[in-house]
Structure 1
Amino acid sequence: MAQEPLGIVSSPIRLDHLGYDGDQSRKHSRNLPLLLQAVRDQPGRVYYWAHLAETFAALGKGAAAIEAAKTGLVVGRRAETDKQKADTSLLFQFLARAALDKNPLAAMVLIHEGLARYPSDYALTFLKGRGLCLTGSYEDALFIFRQLLEVEVDGLVDELIAFDGRIFGEFSAHLAGVCLMKMGRQSEATAMFRAAIGMSLRSVS
């Protein structure tokens, strides 16, 4: 069926999507064969690889998730369109998160490459801060977390990639507190931890 050449416009309508509430195991099990077929049919579509990696991970298939992400990254490194580049950034995020606790230096290599390709990826920036904290670069990590805390979330617009709002709030405040504590700045750390708790309480209220 031919598609109508319709444009995309902004709308004041707000939709609350509840599809990610509750147990997602049935949804992931449903999606898995569809995604496997999708990457067979369109192996050059980076988003399918990213979604497949996340689905494998959600089902506890860690090795398959990493393999899917790595395969998708090979495709994504050749990306030319902005959409493909943004979807490739999701793969950098996935692999960096998987590597951070086990091998933070390897994770940092992925993070730096990802940010070079998609500099406005705040999620990768947050992961960079985590990596710096894990490797003892507390001052540099603190600078990143404070930058994230200053982002005006209401005015943040990226049409190609979404972010977990908590990286601009309690997540960054908590890790900023960890950095301050590691640097021996106890009173500042305490204040930051209290701020993180306040942000967390506001986000669930």
Structure 2
Amino acid sequence: MPCGKQKKTRKYATMKRMLSLRDQRLKEKDRLKPKKKEKKDPSALKEREVPQHPSCLFFQYNTQLGPPYHILVDTNFINFSIKAKLDLVQSMMDCLYAKCIPCITDCVMAEIEKLGQKYRVALRIAKDPRFERLPCTHKGTYADDCLVQRVTQHKCYIVATVDRDLKRRIRKIPGVPIMYISNHRYNIERMPDDYGAPRF
């Protein structure tokens, strides 16, 4: 007997059996004929929803920002700060010339804890008493969504991240500055000119 897979003959032109709309097993409401879709009028004006910007962002100027600055920190930012040998709180103050309170959400904390033994230094920094802990009420632990949702609702935060995708998402939200690392120091983008944040 030849070894190997046995060839199966394919059945051609087989159709899935479907219940007819007049079948006895169907309920009365299901037996009705499907409604035809209404054709859209090409000359009609298309409506498009544009998100309403909050009134505190008059001329793109966020009045809720001000010292002491509350800075939302993500996992990558802590890791890259360790690599660049930067003290988080001190470097933030050097960048903004004002008191800074780093904030860490439950999602970011969970993300660092999941990374395990390799990131124990990051975890120790995140548990620093100078960090403000923000509880999360939503389901799931995806930190990027959590941060985006938080800055959309409350415009009083600066987001500290080096993640390109997260930066792209934050840039779409008006009035939220981004702190990032470049040349072994913290820089800030989209900060109002009235504040003493240096431009590089």
Range into which the TM-score falls when normalised by the shorter chain: under 0.3
**Whose RCO is larger (CA < 8 A, sep 6+)?**
2
- Structure with greater proportional strand content: 2
- Structure with greater proportional helix content: 1
